[in-house]
Amino acid sequence: MDASTGDPAGEISETRRELLEATRDAMCKHGFADLTMQAIADESEKSKAALHYHFDTKAELLAETLSYLLAEFIEQVDTGPDGDPEARLQALTEAQLFGPNGRDGDSSGHWEYHSMLIEIQSHAPHNETFKGQFTTNYDHVRQLYAEIIEDGIEQGVFEPVDPEGTAAHIMAVIKGARVHHVTTDRDDIAETVHETLQEQVFDSLRS
């Protein structure tokens, strides 16, 4: 797994992996505003000096953590091009809305993670490091959706729609659901959006 590119095929050192996972845990525990390098070090067995040795800035560390988490997420939820396109589409969407364990799985930590993401994204318009990483992550997931839809079209499972446009539409709807879930008291929004995507997008995709 290559944390710098989000490529699940790459590899990173165990030390770097430990620091990235410690960063994830610290972000979910403290939020962006109160996140410090010391708080991250406290979540690992490494020192604050080790963090500064591997990462020049906190922004660089956070960006690489986002890349690492994306690669980890894709490994958990997608079976690859040999899988059934409809099952892959459902699994990816459920994981985006409810966490890697899907609609009926354990979602503990999922919404804390997305609360943290929204905090970081609020800084992206004025931080090129964050903006670049969020763009990379968005493009990676959108391309995965598009590839799944293309596979379904080629196999005669899906209608011949625009894969890129459909992928962008699905992701925009999911993003809206996640924002509303963590910023309002509407705990039912993810389930509502999942049902609506099923009825208005996925059912119409079937050939």
**Domains, the chain, ordered by start:** 1-57 (1.10.10.60), 78-205 (1.10.357.10)
The per-residue DSSP string of 84-112 comes to -HHHHHHHHHHHHHH-TT-TTS--TTHHH
Residue pair 190/181 in contact (Cβ under 8 Å)? The answer is yes
Question: Residue 47 and residue 53: Cα distance in Å, rounded?
Answer: 10
- Per-residue pLDDT of 85-112, as tens digits, reads 999 999 999 999 998 887 887 777 888 8
- Say if pTM beats, i.e. exceeds, 0.85: no
Q: Give me the pLDDT at residue 87, please.
A: 92
Question: Residue 107 and residue 152: Cα distance in Å, rounded?
Answer: 28
Q: Which tokens is 53 given?
A: 């040795």
* pLDDT band at residue 183 under the 50/70/90 scheme: very high
Q: For 7-18, what is the mean pLDDT?
A: 72
